[in-house]
Amino acid sequence: MNWYGLYTLFKKEVKRFLKVTIQTILTPMVTVLLYLLIFSSALAQHIKVFENITYVEFLVPGLMMMTIIQNAFANSSSSLFQSKIAGSIFFMLVAPLSSGEIFLAFVAAAVVRGLLVGLCIWIAALWFVVLPIHNLLTLLIFAILGSAVLGALGLIAALWADKWDHISAFQNFIILPLSFLSGVFYQVEVLPPFWEKLSYYNPFFYLIDGFRYGFIGVSEVQVGLSLGITTFFLVIVSGWGWWLLHQGYKLRG
Q: Hey, where are the domains in the chain? A: 67-247
**What pLDDT, on the 0 to 100 scale, is given for residue 26?**
92
User: What spatial distance separates the first Cα and last Cα of the chain, rounded to whole Å?
Assistant: 27
> Residue type for 161, please?
A
What secondary structure letter does DSSP report for 143? Answer: H
Q: What is the pLDDT of residues 13-31, one digit of tens each?
A: 999 999 999 999 999 999 9
**Measured CA distances, 65 to 11, 56, 132 (Å):** 24, 14, 16
Q: What is the pLDDT of residues 68-115, one digit of tens each?
A: 999 999 999 999 999 988 888 888 888 888 999 999 999 999 999 999
C-alpha 32/C-alpha 125 separation (Å) is 9
**Percent of the residues in the chain that have a pLDDT greater than 90, as a whole number:** 66
List the one residue out of 134, 153, 156 whose CA is nearest residue 145. 153
Tally Cβ neighbours within 10 Å of residue 221: 15
C-alpha 226/C-alpha 208 separation (Å) is 9
What secondary structure letter does DSSP report for 98? Answer: -
List phi, psi (to 5°) of 95: -70, 160
Element (H, E) at 245: helix 223-247
Non-local (6+) Cβ contacts of 158 within 8 A are 76, 77, 78, 79, 80, 81, 84, 167
Non-local (6+) Cβ contacts of 164 within 8 A are 81
Q: What is the mean pLDDT of residues 226-235?
A: 97
C-alpha 187/C-alpha 195 separation (Å) is 12
Residue 129 has pLDDT above 80, yes or no: yes
Residue 52 has pLDDT above 90, yes or no: no
